Chain A
Amino acid sequence: MTISPDQLIQFSPLHRLQWEEAQQKYVILYPEGMVELNQSSAEILKLCDGSRMLAQIVTELEEKFATSGLTNDITNFLNVALQNGWIKQA
C-alpha cells in the first residue's frame, strides 16, 4: 500500500487529529489509543483534508518553511500514515 500521486488524500474518518494543550503537541486519537506527533508530521497531516494531492502538499510545505527537496520525506511519512490507517485515498 503506497500513496498514489494522482489521488486526493484525506484524513481517516475513524481517527481524530487534535492539538493537546497539556502536551503542547498534536496527537492522533483512535479507539483506546493515541499517537504523539512531532511538528513536521503534524504539518503534513493537517493538509490531508481531502482537497490536495501529494504534489500540492509538498509545494505548500516547501513554501511555508522556505525550503525545497521535501518530496521524499513527505512521501515516506505519508506511506507510513497510509499503512497505519491515519489517512486514505478515494
Chain B
Amino acid sequence: MAGSSKLNITPPRWLLAELSYKCPLQCPYCSNPLDYAKYPNELSTEDWKRVLSQARKMGAVQLGFSGGEPLTRQDLTELVGYARELGYYSNLITSGYGLSEEKIVELKQAGLDHIQISIQASTQELNDHIAGTATYQHKQDVAKLIKKHGYPMVLCVVIHRENIHQMPQILEMAENLGADYLELANTQYYGWAHLNRDALLPTREQFEEAEKIAQAYKEKVAGKMKIYYVVPDYYEDRPKACMNGWGTTFLTIAPDGTALPCHSARELPGLDCPNVKDFSIEEIWNESKTFNFFRGTEWMQEPCRSCDEKLKDFGGCRCQAFLFNGDMYSTDPVCSKSPERHRIDTAINSARELALSDREKPLIFRNSKNSKQF
C-alpha cells in the first residue's frame, strides 16, 4: 500500500451510482471503460439501497444516478424515492433517451431534484452521428419537458473537434431550451475518448476561439444561465486537482458493485478494487487498499514530492500518469514541471496533423461489439 496514515480521512460527500453500462447511445468519448462488456452483472435493488444507506450515514449528500444510461434500470424510481427519504440531493445524469413525460412526472414525485441531459451537437445531423443513434429531436423535446415540470436543468455538451465550431449555436440552443446551467465539457481523454483522441482533440487555436465565445456569452446570460466550463487540461500547464484528491470526496460504484475512487480507476493496475457485495462502504472508504492508495502525499515522486503546489493539485490525475507514462505514481504529464510533458505535446501535435490534413480517421464508437475486442 502506498497510502499514508488514516488520520486525515474525510468522509465521502459525492456518490456516483453507475447503475448500468447499458446505453442506447454510442458516443465515441464515453467515460466508461473500454472493456465494459466484460462486466454485464448489475447490482440488485437491495444492494443499491444498502449502498445508499451506508454512504449517506457517512455523510454523502450529493448523489448522481449515472451509467451507461440510468433509465435502463426498471427500479430507478424506487431508488430515487429511497434516496429522497435518506436526504440525498439526487441528480439524474441521462442521455434523455427513453425519458417520457410520464416518467419525468413520476421521478419528480419520487423526489428527484435535478436532471442533467446531454446533447451532442446543435444540429440534428451531427448530434445523431456522434450519438450513433437518432436522438436529436427527442432530446430537444425532453429538455422542454424537464423545464415544464419545474426541475433545475443542466444541459451537458461534450466538446471536441467535430462540434467545437458550433460553439455559438450550442450556447444559443442552451439558452432557448431554458437551461439553468450549461456544462461545456471539453473532452477528457480516458477510455473511449483516449482511443479516439487523434480525431477528437481540437487544436489550440480552436480551443482559444471557442473559449472566447463562451466567456463572452457568460456575461450576456449572467443571472439567467450559469456556464460551467470544463477546461481542456492538455492545454494547461498545471494538472487538474483530480477528484479533489484521491479518496477525499468522491465515491463511484460501478454497475457490478466495484467501488472506485474515480470512474476511470478501473484502468489502473494492482488496485484490487473492492466490491460492495463483500464489504460495507465504511470498510471500503476507510480500510481498503484501493482508497488509501493515493491518499496524502507519501506516494509522490519528484517533481511532486518537493513541489509547493502538491496540496493544490495532488500531483494531478493518476489515470493520466498511467496512460502516458506507464507509471501511475508519476507526475501528471500535463504539468510543465513533469519530465514527460513532451508526451502531451506529441499527442497534441499528432491530433493537429490529422486535423490539418485531408485524411480522415474513422471514430470507434462505444458499443458492445467494439467493447468485446478489449
Chain A residues with CB under 8 Å of chain B are 1, 13-16, 18, 20, 22-23, 27, 29-34, 83, 85
- Given that A29-B113, A31-B114 are known contacts, is A20 also in contact with B152, CB under 8 Å in the complex? no
Nearest CB on B from A66, distance (A): 32
- Given that A31-B116, A31-B152, A32-B64 are known contacts, is A22 also in contact with B11, CB under 8 Å in the complex? yes
Check B89 for interface membership: any CB of A closer than 8 A. yes
Nearest CB on B from A2, distance (A): 12
List chain B residues, Cβ under 8 A from A14. Answer: 152, 180
- Given that A14-B180, A18-B87 are known contacts, is A30 also in contact with B152, CB under 8 Å in the complex? yes
Q: List 23 A-B contacts (CB under 8 A).
A: A1-B223, A13-B150, A14-B180, A18-B87, A18-B89, A20-B59, A20-B61, A22-B57, A22-B61, A23-B59, A29-B89, A30-B89, A30-B114, A30-B152, A31-B116, A31-B180, A31-B181, A32-B64, A32-B91, A32-B154, A33-B62, A34-B62, A83-B223
- What CA separation (Å) do A33 and B154 show in the bound complex? 12
In the complex, number of A-B residue pairs with CB atoms less than 8 Å apart: 47
Measured as residues with beta carbon below 8 angstroms from the partner, the interface class of chain B is 20 to 34
- What CA separation (Å) do A6 and B61 show in the bound complex? 36
| Chain A residue with Cβ nearest B151 | A14
List chain B residues, Cβ under 8 A from A30. Answer: 89, 114, 152
List chain B residues, Cβ under 8 A from A23. Answer: 59
Q: Please encode chain B, from 9 to 51, with 1 for each CB lying within 8 Å of some chain A CB and 0 for all others.
A: 0010100000000000000000000000000000000000000
Chain B residues with CB under 8 Å of chain A are 11, 13, 57-59, 61-62, 64, 87, 89, 91, 113-114, 116, 150, 152, 154, 180-181, 223
List chain A residues, Cβ under 8 A from B62. Answer: 29, 32-34
- What CA separation (Å) do A22 and B56 show in the bound complex? 9
| Chain B residue with Cβ nearest A1 | B223
Nearest CB on B from A87, distance (A): 13
- What CA separation (Å) do A31 and B154 show in the bound complex? 7
Q: Could you tell me if B180 and A34 are in contact, using CB atoms closer than 8 angstroms?
A: no
- What CA separation (Å) do A32 and B152 show in the bound complex? 11
